[in-house]
Amino acid sequence: MNFASDNASGASDKVMAALAAANSGAAMPYGADRWTAQAEKALCDVFERDCAVFLVPTGTAANALALACLTPPWGAVFCHEHSHVMGDECGAPEFHTGGAKLVGLSGGGGKITAAVFAEALRAFPRGLVKQVQPSALTITQATESGTLYSLAEIAGLSGAAHDAGLGVHMDGARFANALAALGASPAEMSWKAGIDVLSFGASKNGTFCCEAVIFFDKARAADFAFRRKRAGHTLSKGRLLGAQALAYLDGGHWLDLARAANASAARLASGLAAIPGTRLPWPCEANEVFAILPRRTADALRAAGASFYDWGTRGLTAKDALKSDEVLLRLVASFATSGAEVDLFLATARNAAARK
């Protein structure tokens, strides 16, 4: 019953097999191999556009290197106050950008609103030398609260950012989960909605260590290869990344994996919502469930072997305030989560609630 993180799973069997298959024989190093070339091509196909694609081994590298191409060191990068780039990467964006300032915006359920973003922009007048300059907006899809921006919301934020001269980045650590949930096309959820650069996540959803940074405007990518090399993120045996990405995309495998994870999360969410004394502060829209329940129940679940994180109060608004004996839990399903795990978790929670 590991609901702590979708990073707790390994690679999918298909990805693992592809890795083994790519292992034999010689290939030119540092990404000059045919797997990498094919993976870059496959991603362009998926996004229905000629893109600049770069494979990297971690999501933190993807985000920080992508942002570094959107902001000068004296730029302001607007993000949600609870976003991964703001709080979970030990300052990686600041490091890779040469010291840009991340400006955290508030918003319920992990989402930035148009109004909050507009107000933030007004606080950083263009050309006022004593202040850092607005340079980029980054949004997370699905968000850290497991919610989704609609296509219209993405387009609205992107449009406002572009109007103010900012570039727009999407942290798509759970891009596949969001896409499967929205039923949109990759193009619709990215460049057609105004995204300039995408961190295309894959590690949480079935690869071992493979993410892609995708520039829809290739002109913005001019520096990326140098930044990646200099950061130490150009793998010598590049075929390792290429082979993972190829298998991940092949035949819609990635969306199958995401749908499985989303279904497990949905089953978990509806089961929890039906237990008296348990409530969901916001809907489960992808593969994460956030549930408020008695601390006693959480203890019983842990005692039964379940793992998950206590989420503090992040993302809660006043109407969802915790009572003194309640906790907010984050429960993450991955492609490898089994129905049996979900059912056992729910039964344990129900028992604890009934025991009173």
Q: Shortest gap between Cβ of 155 and a second copy (angstroms)?
A: 29
Q: Shortest gap between Cβ of 302 and a second copy (angstroms)?
A: 14
- Of the two residues 96 and 267, which places its CB atom closer to a second copy in the complex? 96
- Hey, what are 227's tokens? 């930044």
Of 182, 180, 177, the residue nearest 205 (C-alpha)? 177
Residue 168 Ramachandran class (φ > 0 left, ψ -120 to 50 alpha, else beta): beta
Rounded CA gap, 90 and 348, in Å? 36
- Of the two residues 230 and 279, which places its CB atom closer to a second copy in the complex? 230
Q: Shortest gap between Cβ of 236 and a second copy (angstroms)?
A: 4
- Of the two residues 184 and 246, which places its CB atom closer to a second copy in the complex? 246
- Of the two residues 278 and 337, which places its CB atom closer to a second copy in the complex? 337
Q: Shortest gap between Cβ of 280 and a second copy (angstroms)?
A: 24
Q: Which secondary-structure segment (H or E) carries 52?
A: strand 52-56
- Of the two residues 239 and 330, which places its CB atom closer to a second copy in the complex? 239
Rounded CA gap, 262 and 132, in Å? 40
| Residue 115: strand, helix, or coil | helix
Q: Shortest gap between Cβ of 344 and a second copy (angstroms)?
A: 14
- Of the two residues 10 and 252, which places its CB atom closer to a second copy in the complex? 10
Contacts of 90 by beta carbon, 8 Å cutoff, 6+ apart: none
Rounded CA gap, 181 and 178, in Å? 5
Rounded CA gap, 141 and 158, in Å? 13
Residue type, 262: N
- Of the two residues 307 and 317, which places its CB atom closer to a second copy in the complex? 307
Rounded CA gap, 235 and 86, in Å? 26
DSSP 199: E
Rounded CA gap, 89 and 92, in Å? 5
Contacts of 344 by beta carbon, 8 Å cutoff, 6+ apart: 1, 304
- Of the two residues 133 and 278, which places its CB atom closer to a second copy in the complex? 133
Q: Shortest gap between Cβ of 13 and a second copy (angstroms)?
A: 8
- Of the two residues 33 and 192, which places its CB atom closer to a second copy in the complex? 33
Number of H helices, E strands in the chain: 13, 10
Give the CA diameter of the chain.
63
Q: Shortest gap between Cβ of 83 and a second copy (angstroms)?
A: 13
Contacts of 243 by beta carbon, 8 Å cutoff, 6+ apart: 18, 19, 21, 22, 35, 39
- Hey, what are 280's tokens? 């969901």
Q: Shortest gap between Cβ of 131 and a second copy (angstroms)?
A: 6
Q: Shortest gap between Cβ of 213 and a second copy (angstroms)?
A: 11
